[in-house]
Structure formats: structure tokens, C-alpha cells
Amino acid sequence: MNNQTINWQLSQAPAELHSLLKTLGEEYPIVEGETSGIDTEFIKSVIKGTAKVIITKGQAVITYNRVENAARALGSLLAGIETDEQASFKTLGIMLDCSRNAVMKVEHLKKWLRRLALMGYNMAMLYTEDTYQLPGEPYFGYLRGPYTMEEMKEVDACATSLGIEMIACIQTLGHLEQIMQWAPFDAVRDTSSVLLVDKPQTYTLIDKMLAFWSEALNSRRIHIGMDETHDLGRGKFMDKYGYERGFEIFNRHLAKVNELCAKYNYPNPMIWSDMYFRMSNTTSNYYDEASTIPADVKEKIPANIELVYWDYYHKDAEFYSEWIKRHRDLGFKPSMGSGVWTWGRLWYDHRQTKATVDPCIEACRKEKVDELFFTLWGDDGAYCEFDSSLAGLAYCAELSYNTVADDKLIAARFAAVCHADYLACLKAGNMESQTVIDDKQPVSAPAMLWDDPLYAIVERSYGEQSNKIIANIKAEWTALKTELEALADNGCGNLEHAIIILNTLLAKISYRQQLMAAYSARDNDALDQIAVELTEQMIERVEILHYSLRQQWMSRNKPFGFEIIQARLDTLIGRYQEVAVRIKELLDGEIDSIPELDVEIAPQGYSYQHCHNKIGMPPISRF
């Protein structure tokens, strides 16, 4: 993984590349002046998206169209790869969730930006619902690790030097439950997460939001959110004004926020498009093919607004094409938000990402979509090892610059850019099983991790197929752990963390199996051993995982938010201690059974998805 040194001359390299080369040189062997490395010449091309590398003995020629294409070519050259690529999209970006507990440190963000540049990305958004310090609003982002103005300016300066546009990605209607819980925001609360439309104080608050980002970032583009406001107008708004059709409330609010955006020179604010589709069908489903948006609603959507079509789920290109056309039928050219799967995952899930990204990119090419970005959400607490998702971003970039993704080429670039083993990173993500048994969905690794040892909700949710499914996932995880252990020393970053996760999951399954076998047989000796030795070993496993999770969290994120992960792990430890207490009570004759273990199967329709908050996990809201 030792990159070859790239030489460049200040007098010969185009001026637009100087800051890129100097910033990359802070980490990579890209050196101004003559050294023993490879001399590099840069040639500007008029062909859009060109990123070409030709290597001869001791020399290289990079032909590029824009700064991000030159950066992509430099990533190839670092890996010693000759390429002739062409970007399919004018904008290729990411959106990193910084609102689900994890707020990435500035230095780590800058590290990500350098990697994104070398992959060929030219846009980045940080999804910040309340995680930025709003002047005059001390409870905005309180105890959540919010970004300061100075921090955002530092990030923006780094991004700009790399040819990456930083765009604010905020919320100006819904998804604001973290601030709504505080008394100072009572006046602007419609429901527990949605702002009160038409209230003057609401627009004073939004004005402050826009003022912050207008000063923090140079870009004159902004994403103002407004998605998933399912209870819009159903709280204080209805108490005060009565019922009003959601479309009217939404469009009226959008028009007012649009005016504020113009005040701060944001000519084309972006919004997520889902509410227009959700409110136009009886199921409130974004992807309901029966959706018909009324003509009077279309007419009132501000013409300068940019609609963002988000879709992380569909696996056929035809569906994406159809929904892109539906956005165009509204009179708008949509941007596309796909997904690199990090949410509800302990490690980046490549199989799910590939299954949804491939058809999405295919459709975007076919429909000539200009802008594509990939979201990295942190739903459920952001416990994913987010650095593992760089493998997904490398894959998405490869597919955006080429019609097919060559794993060998990606692996070479990934080694040079991320200093890690691409294929090992992908393999670790296989802890998310794809095996479906008797139409039952695969076992989720986080679900199994957070599952209560007494209630065993995940296990019981499979009913009569439980033993078969649990045995299958145990075999999968055992085989995967063996494979990863053989790769532990080959430079895959936090691969050891993935092994620790698997050790914990396997220990949980084994513990539960031994517990049920001993309890069913009323084997007192075995029960006593479980209460003492096995419980102690299980708690030790959880504590090792706790240390590993803390280590990777603190190295990447601000400390705020990790208490949620700690609370969940401490709850898990407490429940294992409770198992030992219950067994002791049984052995001492204080009770004649353990009712929690006597429940046989889940009621019909009872599943992990329906009982998420029952699985020993403190909620995400922290106050």
C-alpha cells in the first residue's frame, strides 16, 4: 500500500489545481518540486468529465476537465493505474448524517474530504437538524456537539481547496424533535417534531438558520429539507386554525422560506420531494404508483425550487426512471439521492448498497440526471463503523465514472487512497445476512446485539422457524469470523472491531441456546454454571465490545451522543445480571419458574420491526 511519489511543478501545473495539490500533499506523497518520484503533467480537456491518466517510464500525463476530475486521476496515479474515465454526472456528492448522535470531528471530516476528492466527488453535505450553534438560541443543539461557525468555515476552506462544494443540509419544517423538547421553542411547535406554520416566530428562527449557513459556507446552494412531515398541521396548528389540506400548508410555508432564502442569496433552495407524493395518495407512501398530485398544487410550487428524489430501496432501474419522469412531470429537473447503507448497521452493508445503487445509477444515466449524491444515514444511534462506508463511496464513484465497476481497480485505488483493504471491508459487511428462510427476512446484526437475553424478542419473532434461522445465522457468522481473522493483519483499518462484533453476536446466541436447554431440562448444575461462569463471560464480551465501540467513536466523532450507546450496552449487561439473579432465585426455591423464559412463540404479526423499543434499547432522544 506504499503509494508512489507524484511530482508537480508550480510553474507548470494549472493554477486551478495548486490548492488541490497542496492540500492532498498534506497526507499523500504529492510533492511540489523535483524528487525521485514520477513527474506529472496536467492537460486541460474540453470534454466534460474527463479523468485520464497515461503513465510512461518516470512520467505521467493527467488529462482532466474539472478540478474534481483531476483529483480522481491523481487517485488513480497514486495507485499506479492508467485510466481513461469520464464522469457521468455534473455533481457527484455525499450527504453525511450528523444528527443521529454522531457528529464527526472537523479533523476527521477533512480526512474524509481528501479521500472523497481522490475518488472524484465534488460535493458534500452535512445533515444537521440542530447540530450547529445558532446565535441567540442556546438550546439549539444543546449537549449535542453542534458545529461552531469557526469549525464550519474551516471545513469549507478545506473542501474548497479540494474542488468540493460544501452545501448546508438542514431542516426548516420537520425532523426537529431535538429542539421541540425545550421550552424556548414552545411558540414554534406544531407537533413534537414539526414547526408551526404561519407563526412569525417560526420564520424568525428559520431566518437565523439561514443566516448561520450563509456566513459559514461559500456555496450559494442550500438544502432546506421539509421531508416526512406526516403530522403537519395536526397539532397546535389545527387547534388554532382548524383543519386545512396539507398541500396548502406545505406550499405556503415553502413560499415563505423561499423568500428568506432569496434574502441570503440562495436562488434555488433544495427540498426532499417526498411530501408531494405522500400527500397525494391514501397510503402516505412516497412510492405509491397511484399518487396523483393535483394541478393546483403543482402551480403553487415555487418554480425556482430544486426537488431531490430520495430512494435507497428499489432494485430495478425501471422504477427509478419512472419516478424521475414523475418529478419532471411536476415541472422540475430532480437531483437524485441514493444511499450507501450505514443506518441500522454495525458495519457498511455492500450487498444492500450494490443492489440499490446499481439500478439507480443506470436509470440516472439513461434519464440524463445531472446531480447524484449518496446519503450515509445514522438512524438508530449511528453505531455503524462509518469509516467502513468509504468502501461503498469508492464503489459508487467507480460506477459513476465507468459503466461497470471493476473490483480489482477499486481495490488498488482504495489501498492508495484509504490505506485499507477494499475486499476485506466488503467482506466484513456480510455480517448482515442475506439468507431468507421460509419467506422470513434475514437476522439483523444490530437487532441480535441489542436483543434482551430473557425476552429474546428477535428469536421469538421467527416463531416456529426460530431454531432453523438462528442456527443458519450462527453458521454464517462463525464462518465469516474465521475468514476475517485470517485477514486481520492486512491493513483493513478497524477490521478487528468487526471481529469483536461477531464474537459478541456468537456469544449471545450460544448463551441463549445453553440457557434454554438447561432451563427446559431443569438441569440445575448447568443453570448454576450459566448464572456464574457463562454470565461473567458474556458480560466480559459486552465490555470488550463497549471498549471497541468507544475507541472507534471517539477517534471519529465528538463525544456527545456516545452515552446512548453506553446506556444500551449497560442495559444489556444489567439484563445478563438479571438472568443470573433469576436463575439463583429458581435454584434457591424462591420461585418455581422463570416466566420470561416460558413464553413459546410470538403472537401472529409480532416481529422485531414492531417491537423495536422493547429490545432493551434506550430511545434516541436523550432528554
Closest CA to 219 of 158, 165, 147, 154: 165
Please choose, from the candidates 357, 429, 352, 432, the residue with its C-alpha nearest in 3D space to the C-alpha of residue 398. 357
Lowest mean pLDDT segment, chosen from 324-333, 384-393, 463-472: 463-472
Q: What is the DSSP-derived secondary structure letter of residue 533? A: I
Q: pLDDT at position 489, please?
A: 56
Is residue 615 within 8 A of residue 608, CB to CB? The reply is yes
Mean pLDDT of 127-147: 97
**Residues whose CB is less than 8 angstroms from the CB of residue 401 and which lie 6 or more positions away in sequence, other chains included:** 49, 51, 72, 85, 86, 87, 88, 120
Backbone phi, psi, residue 535, to 5°: -65, -40
Give the pLDDT band (50/70/90) at residue 436: confident
Angle made by CA atoms 569, 573, 579, in degrees to the nearest 5: 145
Q: Specify the long-range contacts of residues 481-490, CB closer than 8 Å, at least 24 apart.
A: 481/506, 483/427, 484/424, 484/427, 484/428, 487/421, 487/424, 487/427, 490/421, 490/424
Amino acid at 446: P
pLDDT above 60: residue 204: yes
Half-sphere exposure of 282 (CA within 13 A, CB side): 1
Q: Do domains 91-423 and 433-614 have the same CATH topology?
A: no
80 vs 92: CA distance, rounded Å: 24
Domain coordinates in residue numbering, the chain: 6-86, 91-423, 433-614
Across all residues in the chain, what is the average pLDDT? 94
Angstrom distance (rounded) from CA 5 to CA 265: 43
Instruction: Give the Å distances, CA to CA, from 544 to 149, 311, 497.
Output: 37, 36, 10
Residue 614: the pLDDT is 43
CATH topology of domain 91-423: TIM Barrel (3.20.20)
Q: At what angle do helices 200-216 and 246-263 cross, to 10 degrees?
A: 40
Q: What is the pLDDT of residue 14?
A: 97
Q: Which pLDDT does position 35 carry in this prediction? A: 75
Lowest-pLDDT range of 240-244, 288-292, 601-605: 601-605
pLDDT at 608 over 80: no
Q: Which three cell numbers stand for residue 298?
A: 403543482
Predicted pLDDT of residue 79: 97
Q: Copy the grid coordinates of residue 613.
A: 423499543
pLDDT tens digits, one per residue of 514-534: 999 999 999 999 999 999 999
pLDDT at residue 544 greater than cutoff 80: yes
Q: Taking Cα atoms as reference points, which of 277, 332, 326 lies closest to residue 304?
A: 332
Q: Three-class SS of residue 288?
A: coil
Q: Which residue has the higher pLDDT, 342 or 37?
A: 342
- Given a cut of 80, whether residue 577 has pLDDT beyond it is yes
Q: What is the pLDDT of residue 621?
A: 42
Closest by CA to 70, choosing from 26, 27, 121, 31, is 121
- Pairing type for strands 50-56 and 83-86 reads antiparallel
Cell of 474: 450462527
d(CA 431, CA 83): 34
Per-residue model confidence as pLDDT tens digits over 27-81: 999 999 877 889 999 999 999 999 999 999 889 999 999 999 999 999 999 999 9
CATH number for the domain running over 433-614: 1.20.120.670
* Percentage of the chain modeled with pLDDT above 70: 95
Residues 6-86: name the CATH superfamily: N-acetyl-beta-d-glucosaminidase (3.30.160.230)
**Residue 533 near residue 463 (C-beta atoms within 8 A):** no
Give pLDDT, residue 183.
96
- pTM passes above 0.75: yes
Judge whether residue 329 has pLDDT over 60. Answer: yes
User: So what's the pLDDT on residue 88?
Assistant: 97
Residues 6+ apart with CB under 8 A from 152: 132, 166, 213, 216, 217
Please name every residue paired with 62 in a beta bridge, in sequence order, or none if there are none.
42, 53
pLDDT of residue 493 exceeding 80, the answer is no
Residue listed under C-alpha cell 420564520: 203
Higher pLDDT, 442 or 573: 573
Q: Which amino acid is at 184?
A: P
pLDDT of residue 438: 82
pLDDT band at 604 (very low <50, low <70, confident <90, very high): low
